[in-house]
Amino acid sequence: MTEPMQITMRASAPRRYFGLAMLAGLGGLLLYLALNGEGQTLGIKVFLIALGALALYVTQRMFRATEQAIILDETGLQSGDGEMIAELDQIDRVDRGAFAFKPSNGFIVILKEAQKPRWEPGMWWRLGRRVGIGGVTGAAEAKAMAEVISGQILARQNSE
């Protein structure tokens, strides 16, 4: 009997904290500029406050998202809380090329059919047929996961 396949990819702690610090710093700086800037119109102040609040909101979302892992098992890619990111039989190919529109230290999964858009800052995003995996994750884990997915696709194509 074979052991079930499961590969886990987590956020790299230094990358996670650096990303969170940069986003929080941006939000704080924008709010500071809005509240302490001289000679600004009301419209500019409102715009800076809105951007600062958005940066702090994304920081909070990234903090929660990077606590979760991305898990590859027999059914497909899913987040640590059980949300299905991409089913394995829906994956058409994996793109890790240098010129691919992919997250940092990550890869792109091209699906056979478009899925509902979703974004977990720093970990993964899904838009149409494309799923970006990576961001603040470790490069070695992402490369290993991409290789296993590519192997699964090749095995599926050979069996058909």
What would the two tokens of residue 107 be? Answer: 């890869």
- Count of all residues that appear for the chain in the document: 160
The domain segmentation of the chain, as residue ranges, is: 1-160
CB atoms within 10 A of CB 102: 22
Q: Rounded to two decimals, what is the model's pTM?
A: 0.84
* Cβ–Cβ under 8 Å, residues 30 and 48: yes
Name, in order, each residue with C-beta under 8 angstroms of 6's C-beta and a sequence gap of 6 or more. 71, 72, 73
Residues 81, 32: Cα–Cα separation, whole Å: 36
- The 10s digit of each residue's pLDDT in 1-35 is 456 678 899 999 999 999 999 999 999 999 999 99
The string of pLDDT tens digits covering residues 133-155 is 999 998 889 889 999 999 888 88
